[in-house]
Every structure is written in structure tokens, then in C-alpha cells.
Structure 1
């Protein structure tokens, strides 16, 4: 006598195949099991076709699921619904398949279906009831082990719903929940990718616009540097022109008037005095010519220069030519490899050099001056020396006094030069020149540091 196999494995096999013990019913059960297995395989094939339609959007997937489930049960109608508050982005929220027609309008639902829709929407956990007393079938739709809706259906006449059919419905329902969620994520990612591409294109446009603006800014800065360099030369020209007009030309005119007075008096004396008066007339003509030349020089100096811009050594060379009208012989010497400085720094060096040369010509009464610009690995050194009558100790005392008290504009040129040197992060020193006059030295460390505050300096006349 054989003992029946009661192992869990054989029990599961029995559920899947529908086979039961008993020799007389073995073959009919086997036939029914084979038919059910074929039906199940067809349903699983339908499930796979439904799942691969995720990219088409959520509605196409829901339609595929309800058609597959309805065909498997040969259902008169089949309803798939998402619970209120679950899968908020899922659309449609419910779909009814009846007589090969899909309905997602609540007003068109048959009365029989509305009760099931209410349960699936508000009490989705009750969908696990399986076969109800009214002959309808329900299967829960879960996600992360939480009910999020379900499937309800009325199988066709004569269709016997087995456990495998319910399992297939649950698989369809659960896969629908996962697929709806994944579809939402897929379309959200697609939307984000499109937005990212739009932002990327906008960033590229902004980058191109910024590059264009940077090019315009660089061009504007170059033009500003040109204007600043020309302004430095023009300021020096105008300062010399004012000095020639206010002092030198007045002295020459006064000398001419004195000679005319003397000539008139000598002519009145007659004799040898008259001969001296004649010579004074020649001196008067020379004086007149000198005044005309001074006026021509002043006119030329007052006109804006049109020299093209250049690096700092070139601008210092041009600055040296401005003092030709003052009889100051200026030489420029550059040592080392020139290093470009910030535009404001070069502007300050030009103005500082102009101040120093002006002081040499006006106050120091120098005939020669040397401008030496040295480029060192970690610093730039500017030296302006002359052969004038200036006293370094006196200038240092005046500079110290100008920093402590208000000199009402007198000797402000020294204070201005000191302020410019400090703006460059450098140091100003004054001592005796090897040429016999003043040596003014400015040491500027590299890279040159500039203060953020612009300063208007006053000229020292």
C-alpha cells in the first residue's frame, strides 16, 4: 500500500496543475489542468506585452492590463481603479472595460460597477476578498505592501475562477501599480531632461553673451587705458604751459618793458647814450621774438596729443619730450624685462614721473634729468634724478610737514607723489643724486597692489 506524497512541493504542484488524487478522475483532471496551464501562459504573455508598453504612457499600460485581465477571465466587464490619495500622478484614476469598450467617465458607469469603484477607491484593502457572494472577483493592487487600488470583474458565464486566476489578477494588479509608478518616474525624468536641455541651451547662450560682453569690456578697458595715457601726457603739457604762461612769459614781458623804459630814457640823453639805446632796441626785438616763441610753445602744449598708446617705457619716453620747452634735458633708461602693470598703476607711475620732472625743472632749476625704470623679479623701481639745486633733507622735512599740517596747497606735489607710491603698495625715498641734485626713488613690489579708492591729486605750482 503506497503512502500519498504530502510534501509542500507536491501540494504546490497540485495547486498549479489542478491535479488531485484518485485514479478514476486522473485523466479528466489532467486535461483541465493542461487547459488551465495554457490559459495561464497566454495570460502571462499578455502581462509581458502590457508591461513593455510603459514608455507609451500610463493610459496605454492601463488599457493593456484591463484587456489582458478581461480576456483571461472572459469577463463581461473588468474595472481597474487607483485608490484616493495613492499614486497621485497616475492617470487615468480608473478604467472600465466592457463589451470591448473602455470607459473612464464616472457618469457612464453601470450601477453594478459603481459600488465596486467605491470600494477600490476608498477601501482598497477589501479588494483582497477574492470571489464575492455576487459572483464578482476582486484582487488588491499593492505597492510596497500597501494597498493602492485593485481590480474588480464579473467573469463570463460558465467560467470557473480558480486560485491561479486570482493569482494572475493579483500579478496584473501589482505590476500595474509598479508600472504606473515607473511610468510617472519615466515621464518626470523625461520632463526634467527636457528642462535640463533648455537650461543648458540658456546657459550656453548666456555664456556666449558673457563672452561678447567680456570682449566689449576688454575693448573698453583698452580704450580707457589709451585715454588715461594720453591724459597723463596732456596734463603734463598743460602744467608746463601754465608755468610758462604764469611765470616765464611774465618775466620775459617784464624784461622787455624795462628795456623799453631804459631805451626811451637813453635816447633822451643823446650822444653815447643814444648809441646804447639803439642796441637796446635790438635786445627788445630779441625779447619780442622770445615772447612769440613762448606763446607758440604754450599754444602747442595746450593742444591734446595724438600719439598712439604704448607700454609704460614708451610712454615715459614721450613724457620726456614734453619738457623740451623748459630746457630740461630728460633721458629715460629701462632695465630688465618690462612687465605689464594694471592700467591704473601705469597711470600713477606716469603722473608720479611727471610730478618729479616738473619739480626738477621748476623748483630745482635742473638742466638734466634721468628717469630710470628697473624691472626686477619681485619689484619695479622708478628713479628720477636731476642736477638741480634741491636739498634732499629740506624736501624730506617739507614732506613730513605736509603730512602733518595743511600747507594751503604749497608743496602738495611731494605729498601727492607719496600718496601715489602708497597706492601702489610701494615706498618713496628722497636722497642726494649722483648728478648733484635730487634723487626720488619709488619701490613697487610685484604684483602691484592698488587701493580701491580713486584719488584726485592737486598739481604743485
Structure 2
């Protein structure tokens, strides 16, 4: 009796009845189908990498083959596994349908139940079979089938369907993760390529920027050299040229005196000595201009009124009488400003000697609080209108040095923040008038 009981426990049939063999055969068939179903399940679930639809199709075919179904439905509940696609799939015969409008009435009713979330798994269907699909102990859909007529669906068959459904839920979730990872990897690769391209672009832009900076630096160097050349030319014109031309004029006067009758050799000799002194002075100033152009301290020391007084007696080869007047309280000026004003006054006096028949010249320095006015007037025959035209022409065109003295005077005045004008003087000739602002930082420091 014990042996029969053990055999019945193993086979699931009772050996004491005549139905032992048919029941044994049916049990063996179920066991074989279960093993075959597990094999099909394993083959279906390893297709995760092919995408969710291929996985769902493999699960549907494996389940339909196991229960020999006329049709079999796989469905995911609404709100569950949101990334799962397709949400439902029906296998009828050999045809896969994902349009619920083409479903049989019984399959459509099962679809309605499976899509509801949650649904009662213990509620028996009116027709066919239905098993839930769970993930993390939560219903997420299920499988419904209509077995073929005469197909006896046992509890083991339903268990196989549940295993298949549950593993399908896990496989769907894993498939989503796999494909999400693939998409993220692809996006990461694209971003990496974009970053590399951006890095290459930035490197190219940086190279262009460095080249632009190099060219800008070269341009600044060229501009600095051009500015220095202009400064040297102005310094030479305002200093050395005056001495050389004065010496030339003195020699020309001596030549004219010697050509006339009754020439006084003593007077001529004195003038030649003076011309020699002018040429020596020109050489000294040329050296100073070459080696010390940037130092305004090369001018004789003293205040601006004193320097103007000295200027009125320097290298004037005619009998031009120069008078200097100062009004207001003198204001100390920076060395560069005094240097420029002295150069302007010297150039104006030299032009008076060279280009007019003036006998008198007046230098007036006027301190007016908010403005400092410097005027150089003469009683010669110069024309202010013609001088203004020459100034405009010299500013607009390179005349190879002609009339550069006027342009230099205006440039120096503008560098000091002032203005230069040419007028008719009260004593009959030309008046150059320049106005500059006082050094404001000096005024503030004094207050």
C-alpha cells in the first residue's frame, strides 16, 4: 500500500484503478508539454535584445503553441510598463493583429479586462482562460487564450502561462532598459563627437585669435614706430631746421654785403661767426633730438615766461624786435606742455622772419584761470586767409615737408587739449592764437 501511495504521489494517478494507464499517459503528455513550454519560454525570453515587439511576438507564439489556442492575447495594463510597445497583440491562426477593431468579441472582452488596472485575477472568465502578468507583485497585464476544442487545460498549463507572462513582464522591462541604454550610449557618442568637434573648432578659433593678436601687436608696433617717426620729424623741423635755415640766411646776408661796395669786413666776419654758432647749435640739437627725443627736460630750465623771454633773443638773423608780455598769475605746467608751447612760439617767430617783412613781433602769455592763451603777433605783410588755406592743405596732404610747421603747431596744440586759430593781428600782420586748459590735477591738488 505504501508503494502504491508513493507511485501515485510521483505520477499524479492512483494505480489501484483500471484508469491508471490512461491517466499516466495524460500526465506524461502534460509533463512533456510543460518541458517543451519551458524550452520555448527560454528561447523567447532571450530575444530581449531584438526589441520589445520581437519579444512579445515570441511570447505569444510560445503560449499559443502550449495551449493549442485558436487565438491568444497578450496585453499590458493601462498605466503599467509605460515604455512597453506594443501594448497588446493578438495571435489568431498564423496572423498577428494589433488593431483591436479586428478582434473577435471574446478577445475584445478579455482585452478590456486585462487593460484595466488592477483587475481581479481570481474572477473566472466567461470563456477561454486568463492569467495575470505581475511585476514586483503588482499586476501589469496578462495573457488570455481560447484553447482549441477538446484541449484540456490543466492547472499546470495555467502555471506555465503565468510563468511565461511574468517572465515576459521582466523581459519587457529589461528590453526597455537595454534599448534605453543603447539610446543613451548613442546619444553619449553623438555628444562626445559634438564635444570633440567643438574642441577642434575652439582650437581653430584660438589659433585664429592668436594670429589676430599677433597681427594686432605688429600693427601696434608699426603704429608706434610711425608715431615716433612723426615725432622725430616734428622735433627736427622745430629745432634743427630753424638753426640751419637761420645760418643759411646769415650767410646769404654776408654774401650780399660782400658783393656791395664798401663792405665792412668786421661786420661780415661777426655775422659769419654768428652763422658758425648757429650751425654748431644745429648739430648739438640734432644729437639731442636723436638720443633724447622723449625728454622735454632737454630744454633750458625755467618757467614758461622765462623761456619765452630767452626765445625772443635766440637765432633771429634780422632786426626783428620781439617783446614778451605776461598777464595773470603764472601756473606751473608739466614739462611736456611747456616744451610744446615753446616749440610753437619758436616756429611762429621763425615763420615771421622767413616769410614776412615784419619789424616787430609780440608774444603774449595770458593766464585766465580756466584757459591759458598764447598769441604770437607781427606787423608784417602776411595773409591770414592764405595761411589758413596752407594749414588745411598741409593737414590733408603730404607735401614732403612743405608747410609742416603749421601742421606741427596745430598737432602740438591738440595734444594739449587746446585749439589753434590764425587771425589778423592788431598791429597789422598775422596773429597765431592758441588756447589750452590748465593742468586740472594741479588745481585740485592745490585746493
For normalisation by structure 2, the TM-score amounts to: 0.59
1:201-350 correspondence runs (5 A): 201-258=193-250, 260-261=252-253, 270=262, 273-274=264-265, 277=268, 326-327=287-288
Number of the residue aligned with 2:12: 19
Q: CA deviation at 1:40?
A: 0.4
Number of the residue aligned with 2:293: 358
For the residue of structure 2 that corresponds to 1:126, the secondary structure is: coil
Matched, 1:34 2:28: yes
1:134-185 C-alpha deviation (Å, 9 max, x unpaired): 3411110111211111111111222222221111111111122122222222
For the residue of structure 2 that corresponds to 1:358, the secondary structure is: coil
For the residue of structure 2 that corresponds to 1:363, the secondary structure is: helix
Residue 152 of structure 2 is aligned with which of 145, 160, 176? 160
Q: CA deviation at 1:249?
A: 1.8
Structure with max Cα Rg:
2
Q: Is the 8 A contact 2:78 2:117 kept in 1?
A: no
**Structure-2 separation of matches of 1:408 and 1:45:** 106
Distance 1:413 1:126, change over 3 A: farther
Q: CA deviation at 1:252?
A: 3.4
Number of the residue aligned with 2:440: none
1:322-369 C-alpha deviation (Å, 9 max, x unpaired): x99535786xxxxxxxxxxxxxxxxxxxxxxxxxx4344x5237xxxx
For the residue of structure 2 that corresponds to 1:149, the secondary structure is: strand
Matched, 1:48 2:39: no
Q: CA deviation at 1:237?
A: 2.5
Q: Is the 8 A contact 1:151 1:173 kept in 2?
A: yes
For the residue of structure 1 that corresponds to 2:192, the secondary structure is: helix
For the residue of structure 1 that corresponds to 2:120, the secondary structure is: helix
Matched, 1:105 2:95: no
Distance 1:329 1:235, change over 3 A: closer
**Structure-2 separation of matches of 1:212 and 1:63:** 52
Distance 1:138 1:18, change over 3 A: farther
Residue 138 of structure 2 is aligned with which of 126, 135, 146? 146
RMSD: 4.1
Q: CA deviation at 1:85?
A: 1.5
Which consecutive residues of structure 2, in runs of 5 or more, have no partner in the other structure? Answer: 303-330, 340-414, 418-447
For normalisation by structure 1, the TM-score amounts to: 0.58
Q: Is the 8 A contact 1:266 1:276 kept in 2?
A: no
Distance 1:280 1:408, change over 3 A: closer
**Structure-2 separation of matches of 1:288 and 1:326:** 13
Number of the residue aligned with 1:116: 110
Q: CA deviation at 1:126?
A: 2.4
Q: Is the 8 A contact 2:247 2:279 kept in 1?
A: no
Q: Is the 8 A contact 1:95 1:103 kept in 2?
A: yes
For the residue of structure 2 that corresponds to 1:154, the secondary structure is: strand
**Structure-2 separation of matches of 1:205 and 1:412:** 57
1:204-229 C-alpha deviation (Å, 9 max, x unpaired): 22222222222222222222222223
1:238-282 C-alpha deviation (Å, 9 max, x unpaired): 2222111123322433444455556656766825x2476389579
Number of the residue aligned with 1:198: 190
Q: Is the 8 A contact 2:129 2:144 kept in 1?
A: yes
**Structure-2 separation of matches of 1:136 and 1:230:** 96
Residue 74 of structure 1 is aligned with which of 58, 68, 76? 68
Q: Is the 8 A contact 1:263 1:280 kept in 2?
A: no
Q: What is the aligned residue count?
A: 313
For the residue of structure 2 that corresponds to 1:87, the secondary structure is: coil
Q: CA deviation at 1:119?
A: 0.5
**Structure-1 separation of matches of 2:129 and 2:180:** 34
Q: Is the 8 A contact 1:263 1:278 kept in 2?
A: no
**Structure-1 separation of matches of 2:266 and 2:337:** 50
**Structure-2 separation of matches of 1:234 and 1:27:** 119
Q: CA deviation at 1:102?
A: 1.2
Distance 1:3 1:45, change over 3 A: closer
Residue 90 of structure 1 is aligned with which of 84, 90, 112? 84
For the residue of structure 2 that corresponds to 1:138, the secondary structure is: strand
**Structure-1 separation of matches of 2:27 and 2:140:** 33
Q: CA deviation at 1:44?
A: 0.7
Q: Is the 8 A contact 1:46 1:68 kept in 2?
A: yes
Q: Is the 8 A contact 1:18 1:32 kept in 2?
A: no
**Structure-1 separation of matches of 2:182 and 2:259:** 111
Q: Is the 8 A contact 2:117 2:140 kept in 1?
A: no
Number of the residue aligned with 1:304: none
For the residue of structure 2 that corresponds to 1:102, the secondary structure is: strand
Q: Is the 8 A contact 1:413 1:459 kept in 2?
A: no
